[in-house]
Amino acid sequence: MRVLLTGAAGFIGGHIRTALAARGHEVVAVDALLPSAHGSAPRTPQGINVVDVRSADAMIDVLRGIDVVCHQAAVVGAGIDADDAPAYASHNDFGTAVLLAAMHRTGCTRLVLGSSMVVYGDGRYRNAAGVTVIPPARTRQDLDAGMFDNRDPVTGQPLTWEAVDEDAPLRPRSTYAASKLAQENYALAWALSTGGSVTALRYHNVYGEFMPRNTPYSGVAAMFRSSLESGQTPQVFEDGKQTRDFVEVRDVAGANVAAIEAQLPGFGAFNICSGQPITIGDVANVLSEACGGPPPAITGNYRAGDVRHVVASPVRAECELGFRASIMPANGLRDFATMALRDCEIAGPPHV
Ligand code: UD1
């Protein structure tokens, strides 16, 4: 197939490009090389067309003859403060809207969209009686007292996590999350009105080779790696028992290939995860051991707005896309300890 890949010079896009080429697909690779991700004077990687998805004319140009668009271009991270909001809205939402309109104009009817587990907001919890509960946000008082678990609003007892499936309520909690959900909603509306198809892949915590090194917008795995490389102790927030699903970037690339080849009709959203939950404390332990570094420090500090547990159900992706992760976190994170990270002098926060 002839695939238009946006965000092709990014961490995830780069791996998708490799995976698509290995499957014999023809890739038209575009990237805006944003300074917030690639530095203020980026060198254009080989084979990349420097195109901003917000430019309708340029998109119409590159869309000619394309069978499917794999849209990965986005400003990522949680958003540091409210000043970042216009950049998320512009690149992620306006950009997706321009892309969808250009697809309509050029007759391209298939989209695979890089989405995120952040659209769920909170994870899913059950109480001691086994009943699913939507917990209120954790209070500052609890967090300051070292009570990190979400509580049952009725009994006050700590709640246990459950795997989140794709039908869970969507409650974005950050600017980034709001922009990813809006992307999905624009794509859904486009699919309904044009008869096109959209497969939205909700990535869980992605790690792997060429992950951007320590920036305020990086995920925790890269932060722990950066600390260990400079001989520092990884700082684990809360009690280290907060749980996530870490998925290796080559599996994420494989999920995109599966979605492109599955050619599902209509709109579908899928968790892209390993299906093997791991605590942040264990992520730090695996990396420290594999790097031969100091053991992590469990700090008891917390980040405002952090979610306690987000653990994913991999079932729908396996049943409908035929995607199953092949790299489990215990092995993948150990290997990640010695993989190359991407160095770049990021040029400040994202700009519109
Ligand atoms: C992350 C991403 C989010 C992405 C999602 C799914 C960031 C900032 N967040 O969310 O954009 O969509 O994964 O891929 O990129 N922690 C520590 N020590 C640290 C840093 C973090 O213990 O030095 C803890 C945090 O408190 C949190 C956990 O690690 O409990 C995960 O943090 P992070 O990697 O930022 O990820 P998410 O919030 O899960």
Query: What gap in Å lies between CA 287 and CA 330, rounded to an integer?
Result: 10
Kindly report the number of other CB atoms within 10 A of residue 78's CB atom.
Answer: 17
pLDDT at 213: 84
pLDDT at 216: 62
- Please give the residue that has the higher pLDDT: either 43 or 191: 191
Residues with Cβ within 8 Å of residue 331, at least 6 apart in sequence: none
Is the C-beta atom of 237 inside 6 A of ligand 1? yes
What is the average pLDDT value for the chain, to the nearest integer?
94
- Residue 73 DSSP code: -
Which of 206-210, 217-221, 274-278, 322-326 shows the lowest per-residue confidence on average (mean pLDDT)?
217-221
Digit-coded pLDDT (tens) for 124-144: 999 999 999 988 889 999 999
**Rounded to the nearest whole angstrom, what is the distance from the C-alpha of residue 263 to the centroid of ligand 1?**
32
Going by alpha carbons, the residue nearest to atom 24 of ligand 1 is: 237
Is the C-beta atom of 219 inside 6 A of ligand 1? yes
Going by alpha carbons, the residue nearest to atom 11 of ligand 1 is: 77
Report the atom number in ligand 1 closest to the C-alpha of 303: 26
Going by alpha carbons, the residue nearest to atom 3 of ligand 1 is: 77
CA distances from 239 to 147, 159, 228, 234 (A): 9, 16, 20, 13
**Rounded to the nearest whole angstrom, what is the distance from the C-alpha of residue 204 to the centroid of ligand 1?**
10
Dihedral over alpha carbons 267, 5, 221, 210 (to 10 degrees): 170
Kindly report the number of other CB atoms within 10 A of residue 160's CB atom.
Answer: 15
Digit-coded pLDDT (tens) for 159-208: 999 999 999 999 998 899 999 999 999 999 999 999 999 999 999 999 99
pLDDT at 214: 67
**Rounded to the nearest whole angstrom, what is the distance from the C-alpha of residue 220 to the centroid of ligand 1?**
5
pLDDT at 137: 87
> What is the share, in percent, of the chain residues with pLDDT greater than 70?
97
pLDDT at 85: 92
Is the C-beta atom of 206 inside 6 A of ligand 1? yes
pLDDT at 26: 98
- Cβ(2)–Cβ(106) under 8 Å? no
Report the atom number in ligand 1 closest to the C-alpha of 116: 12
pLDDT at 76: 87
Query: What gap in Å lies between CA 223 and CA 104, rounded to an integer?
Result: 41
Query: What gap in Å lies between CA 149 and CA 158, rounded to an integer?
Result: 6
Digit-coded pLDDT (tens) for 54-110: 999 999 999 999 999 999 999 987 666 788 899 999 999 999 999 999 999 999 999
Is the C-beta atom of 114 inside 6 A of ligand 1? no
